[in-house]
Structure 1
Amino acid sequence: MSFIEWGALGQVLVAGLIVGAGIPALFALGLRLLAGTTTAPDARTAPAAGKDGGAPRTIAIARPTPARLAGAIACMGVVVGAIAYGLVFLVSGGH
């Protein structure tokens, strides 16, 4: 006689991994795709701010490419959809 329902435990584990790790990972991936790459000037030619009276360094942050932007929008869309589905599920009395 087993007191543990292994099928139900497996379902809870999979749902916890998807909601607890998958959705935040998608959100982080979407933010990373939105972040542009930085191109700093050569450190040997540009003095740091405050050293020897030099001008502060300028760091240019490029805009994300269209492919990265589309990926970020897709990731954020999945996250927003999952949140909306969870709210609708809870409000409708889902058990």
Structure 2
Amino acid sequence: MNSWINLDAVWKIVVVGLLTGAGLPALFALGLRLLNPTGAAGEPSAVRPSAVRPAAGPVGSTLAGLIFAVVLAAIGWGISVIVGHR
């Protein structure tokens, strides 16, 4: 092994990078998807007039709100890590 490379640190960086780099945008997309349900024929509601667009429903809106809260909390945590609270 090379003494210049700390494999434990590299592993942690890769895992956190994958979670924040791919996981948070995927969660955000899931939240948006929960707010925009499909119609009966399977087409997105964006292709239909707004008068016949179905509501997301209370469950979808609640789950989307929780997902957005998790994403905002992760963003706040990342900013606090970068700033470095003392």
2:18 corresponding residue in structure 1: 17
TM-fit CA distance, 1:66:
1.0
Cα gap change, 1:58 to 1:69, in 2 (>3 Å): closer
Equivalent position amino acid for 1:63 in 2: A
Please identify runs of 4+ aligned residues in structure 1 that moved more than 6 A.
none
SS of aligned partner of 1:38 = coil
Partner Cα distance (2:49, 2:75) in 1: 39
Structure 1, 18-27 or 82-91: larger mean CA deviation: 82-91
Q: In the alignment, which residue of structure 2 is the partner of 1:74?
A: 66
Structure holding more helix per residue: 2
Aligned to 2:33: 32
Say whether the 8 Å CA contact 1:39–1:61 is kept in structure 2.
Answer: no
Higher-Rg member (1/2): 1
TM-score relative to the length of structure 2: 0.77
Unmatched tracts of structure 2, length 5 or more: 42-47
Q: What CA distance in whole angstroms lies between the structure 1 residues aligned with 2:84 and 2:38? A: 43
Deviates more, 1:5-14 or 1:59-68: 59-68
More strand by share: 1
Aligned partner of 1:49 in structure 2 is none
**1 CA distance for matches of 2:49 and 2:69?**
34
Q: CA deviation at 1:65?
A: 1.5
- Equivalent residue pairs, number: 78
Structure-2 separation of matches of 1:87 and 1:64: 31
Q: Gapped runs of 5+ residues in structure 1?
A: 41-56
What amino acid maps onto 2:53 in structure 1? I
- The 3-state SS of whatever aligns with 2:79 is helix
The SS at the match of 1:28 is helix
